[in-house]
Structure 1
Amino acid sequence: MIDHEVFQRLRRIRQLGLTELVYPGATHTRFEHALGTMHLATKMFEAIVNRQKPYLVAEPGYDQAGSGIERDKRVVRFAALLHDVGHSPFSHSGESLFPMNEDLGRRFQHEDYSSSIIRTILREAIEDHQNNDNHGITADDVADLIDGEPTSGNSASPRRMIWRPLISSQLDADRCDYLLRDSLHAGVSYGRYDLDRILVTLTLGLNESDDPVVAIEEGGWHAAEGLILARYMMFTQVYFHHTRLALDHHIEQVLTTLLGAPRSPGSEPVEPYFPLPTSPASLREYVKWDDWKVLGHIADGEAGDHGQHILQRDLYKSVKQTNESMTQTEMDLIDTIIQKLGSLVGFVSDATKSWYSLGDQDLQIVPNDTTLPQPGRPLSQFSRVVANLSPVAEQSIYVHPSNRIEANRIIAEIEKRGSK
């Protein structure tokens, strides 16, 4: 599977877009992140099984010999390995160019592309491999775990959803890997947390419906808290860095230019969206897009003005930025500045993120050293820090480099009048 061309494509998709132009070491790709996610998902799965095998045999109905557990571990490993095969060039930077999913009233997401690729292009590689003879794993088994919904008629899939939080949750293998990996490559310490402590306290608990859920023992809740805070720090200090947001904008505009270009000489421009994830043919067109292809167009001068901004690192400049949680006064000021700047405004970034979800998604903290899953209490009841983390809602106004001085002059006049 790792040698398949679809997975090898991840070598050509940077994990953090063009963040290397801010943090020079951040040249890592989705390829190593996918391997790391599979590795951590395996360790998390095994940690839970080591603590809860008697329960897994008695309640969900795994066999005593462990063949069912072994099969589901392989499904979890596949899902973790392949969860990002649907990413667009430069990872999240290109997601605004995904087409609309009319049925759901939102844009398709990279997870939609991942599961569709697994069910189509990768189906044969998964199901027909000789090593699969003893396991009978299907492409739908893997894609179901990414989608979070059992395929109709897949009898084993509902039981397997116990493991869904290892693939997507507030404590999943994806998040556990990228925080440490991105921190390492960016050369910062913000993303560090105590992974070892999380692994030795990871277990199963029971939710309000007495269904099993992935949980943390009380002895590890500070480590879980540390992961949440590490994510907050990485977003505010790295992912939402003002220059990085400018680079995301330039990449988005480059992709808009390239995707909207006429398909043949003399033909009309087309809608600037990636191919739909709804057929094998369109998915094969989609996976032809990667960072190398886009950078080649930029180098050849075919990516418009924004390609030149990237090539010369002559980026749009932030001239006004709100605090992390905007007040109404700040919002009014930003609106006034945008109005006064008029055509000088290059773009306005909206950096929004919620660090932690309460309610049903709140991590469960359960008593130490229990032999069977127990009801727990939400992490937010243990950690006042987590309970009071406010979402970020931050706006920044950017202008063309040549307009920076004039924009700063206008903003200074507005702020001077406002202070009187």
Structure 2
Amino acid sequence: AFQAVVNNRPDLFSKEQKEWYEQILRLMALTHDLGHAPFSHGSEAVFPNNLSHEDFTEEIIMKTEIGDFIHEIGQEFVEKYDEEYNITPELICSIYRGRNISNPDFIFLKKFLDSELDCDKMDYLLRDSYYCGVNYGRYDLERLVSMLTVYKEDNNNLYLAIKKGGLCAFEEFVLARYFMFIQVYFHRTRRFLDKMLVEFLRQNLSDGKYPDEVGEYLTWNDNTVWRLIRDAQDKDEYANRLMNRRIMKCVYESPTHSEHIDQNIFNYIKNVLGEKIGKDNFIYDSADKLAHKIPLKHTIDSEQDIPEQAIPIILDHTKTPGTISTESGVIKNMTEPINIWRIYAKEEMAVRAKNLVNDIFNKMSS
């Protein structure tokens, strides 16, 4: 992606800058997900002390041999060019976390790993789509990448941008992510199993949380958790459901873009089912996310921080970039957040619960 930008704007960086920035991006790409917990986002609910996977990533970079390797690479650049081309673990972390950034170009580099047009999303959509055996996450990667470019303001700040000719590929990319969330990431079965995983970990981790010390945290991986689940399956309900894929039945699911009235309906159904059948027979889930985080307008203002997700559309006939609101009706109209509420019932109570839910809706419509 960075090479595509350089190809579209060969005047942008010197040879030394280009090589330096490429290496920084390479190191960021290789390290930015190191802090993910077992089963990735599925078990983030048991992170300790409000820490995030980004916090653990930084700890891993700074406190393990990975930091030493980064220092070695940085010294190679110092010897080849100059001290200003040094690469340190602190530099990698500061760019990725958007913290204490002195060089405006670093904010531009961050967009390749953390924006609504970042390479991380480009990668996981296609990969997840392939391994899940679905087509929802597919888009024209080659076209999208080839249309990446830069918008340079008068104050020399750089913005990752896209040419007008790549707008359809960008829209396809945004829609692919949207469909993957509602059809795969927020699928009722996946959400239920995530809840089983979290509840199992809360019962089996010290204080119900992962350790906050990085060395101990790194001892936890997918295999560690699977071994615990396998060993506990005969005596633990959550482990048994995970190992044998015993999925509770979803007896109620709200619309994809639920509003306040839908939440009231959810709460009413939840209370009725709890009173008539018993709360212990149900599990409740709420899945929510913005359809996208793309500002509809690109704010050009040197007095404020650079907008986190601003994506200028480079037009052929003017130096002023276009905006999502003027150039993409598709994305402009995707303003409603995803809110899905679900109620799961134990298998032996599912038919009765489903009948009660149907009765509630029949009375509401009569």
TM-score range, shorter chain: 0.7 to 0.9
- Cα deviation digits, residues 321-359 of structure 1 (max 9, x gap): 010112444222211111112214532211111122225
Alpha-carbon distance in 2 for matches of 1:109, 1:346: 29
Asked if the contact 2:5/2:149 (under 8 Å) is kept, the reply is: yes
Q: How many residues align?
A: 341
- Which residue number corresponds to residue 36 of structure 1? none
Among candidates 312, 316, 332, match of residue 364 of structure 1? 312
Following superposition of structure 1 onto structure 2, how do residues 333-352 of structure 1 map, counting pairs within 5 Å? 333-342=265-274, 343-352=279-288
Within 5 Å, give how 1:392-407 maps onto structure 2. 392-407=338-353
Tell me the residue number matched to 2:359: 413
State how far apart, in whole Å, the 1-side matches of 2:333 and 2:156 are: 28
Cα deviation code 1:12-43 (max 9, x no counterpart): xxxxxxxxxxxxxxxxxxxxxxxxxxxxxxxx
Which residue of 1 is the match for residue 204 of structure 2? 258
- 2:297 is the alignment partner of 1:354: no
Q: What residue number does 1:17 align with?
A: none
Pick the aligned partner of 1:301 from 232, 253, 261.
232
Correspondence for 2:92: 142
1:49 equivalent to 2:15? Answer: no
Identical amino acids, percent of aligned pairs: 31
The whole-number CA distance in structure 2 between the counterparts of 1:397 and 1:196 is 41
AA aligned opposite 2:225: V
Q: 1:214-253, aligned counterparts within 5 Å?
A: 214-253=160-199
In the alignment, residue 84 of structure 1 is paired with which amino acid? D
Is residue 145–residue 167 contact of structure 1 (8 Å, CA) maintained in 2?
no
Deviations 1:89-141 (CA, angstroms, capped at 9, x unpaired)? 101011111123xxxxxx32212211221122121122136866646321112
Q: Which runs of 4+ in 1 moved over 6 A?
A: none
Q: CA deviation at 1:177?
A: 0.5
Contact preservation (8 Å) 1:338, 1:345: no
Task: Output the CA distance in 2 between the equivalents of 1:250 and 1:77.
Answer: 36
Q: Contact 1:206/1:375 (CA < 8 Å) preserved in 2?
A: no
Aligned match of 1:172:
118
Q: What CA distance in whole angstroms lies between the structure 1 residues aligned with 2:125 and 2:232?
A: 35
Contiguous gaps of at least 5 residues in structure 2: 298-306
2: distance between equivalents of 1:306 and 1:328? Answer: 32
Change (3 A) 1:369 1:73: farther
1:235-276 per-residue CA deviation (whole Å, 9 max, x = no partner) reads: 11111111111011111111111213xxxxxxxxxx211222
**Counterpart secondary structure, 2:12:** helix
Q: Distance in 2 between matches of 1:413 and 1:217?
A: 53
Asked if 1:124 is matched to 2:72, the reply is no
Any residues of structure 2 matched to 1:187-198 within 5 Å, and which?
A: 187-198=133-144
Amino acid of the structure 1 residue aligned with 2:11:
P
What is the rounded CA distance, in whole Å, between the counterparts of 1:301 and 1:173 in structure 2? 39
C-alpha spacing 1:325/1:408, structure 2 compared with 1 (3 Å): same
**TM-score (normalizing by structure 1):** 0.76
Match of 1:380 among 316, 321, 325: 325
Question: In 2, are the aligned partners of 1:348 and 1:396 still within 8 Å (CA)?
Answer: yes
Deviations 1:284-308 (A, max 9, x none): 1111111100100111117831011
Q: What secondary structure is seen at the aligned counterpart in 2 of 1:255? A: helix
Query: What is the Cα-based RMSD across aligned positions, in Å?
Result: 2.2
Report how far residue 68 of structure 1 moved.
2.6
Pairwise CA distance, 1:146: 1.5
Query: Structure 2 length as normaliser, TM-score?
Result: 0.87
In structure 1, stretches of 5+ residues that fail to align are 1-43, 57-63, 101-106, 261-270, 277-281
Does 2:239 correspond to 1:318?
A: no
Secondary structure of the structure 2 residue equivalent to 1:170: coil
